[in-house]
């Protein structure tokens, strides 16, 4: 006679660890139209109002505030841009001090372009601040080769 007994205990459940995972947490974001992007494929150049800028800030206690910025067009919407580069500065105003990080990304005529930077801004729980992102993007199908953008949004340190 063979008896099989299975016990569903986790042998690691009672072990404690001093290792603390320092995960990044989204602390603020912005998503809106990039209104000065021009389409030069049309004989009468017009504003391409479907290009959007998306930015979000994350925070972790060892790296501080990191900012990611993306230019894109929602799926199913045309004309699509053909981005070749994007660069700029992300700054964080926190506790009356400004922290800055530069970003730059090149592409081969892609419909989206995204770049990230670390600002090094470290605060205490509950501190409120402002992220400001300003930059320029170039595109194969943009009037004058591209244009600038600038956005701001609030953050709160977790």
Q: 74-130: per-residue pLDDT in tens?
A: 888 777 778 999 999 999 999 999 999 999 999 999 989 999 999 999 999 999 999
Which residue do the tokens 């930059």 mark?
135
Number of domains in the chain: 1
Which of 17-21, 62-66, 77-81, 141-145: highest mean pLDDT? 62-66
Answer yes or no: is 90 within a domain: yes
Residue pair 69/44 in contact (Cβ under 8 Å)? The answer is no
Residue 142 DSSP class: B
* Mean pLDDT, the chain, integer: 80
**3 state DSSP class of 55:** strand
User: What pTM was computed for the model?
Assistant: 0.77
Give the β-pairing of 128-139 and 146-156. Answer: antiparallel
Answer yes or no: is 92 within a domain: yes
Give the β-pairing of 46-47 and 38-39. Answer: antiparallel
Read off the CATH number of the domain in which 109 is found: 2.60.40
């Amino acid at each position: 006679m063979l008896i099989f007994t299975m016990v569903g205990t986790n042998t690691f459940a009672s072990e404690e660890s001093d290792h603390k995972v320092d995960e990044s947490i989204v602390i603020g974001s912005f998503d809106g139209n990039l209104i000065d992007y021009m389409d030069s494929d049309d004989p009468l150049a017009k504003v391409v109002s479907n290009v959007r800028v998306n930015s979000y800030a994350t925070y972790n206690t060892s790296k501080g505030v990191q900012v990611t910025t993306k230019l894109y067009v929602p799926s199913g919407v045309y004309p699509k841009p053909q981005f070749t580069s994007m660069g700029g500065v992300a700054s964080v105003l926190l506790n009356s001090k400004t922290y800055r990080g530069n970003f730059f990304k090149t592409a081969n005529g892609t419909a989206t372009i995204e770049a990230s930077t670390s600002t090094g801004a470290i605060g205490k729980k509950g501190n409120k601040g402002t992220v400001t992102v300003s930059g320029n993007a170039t595109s194969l199908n943009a009037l004058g080769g591209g244009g600038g953008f600038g956005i701001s949004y609030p953050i709160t340190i977790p």
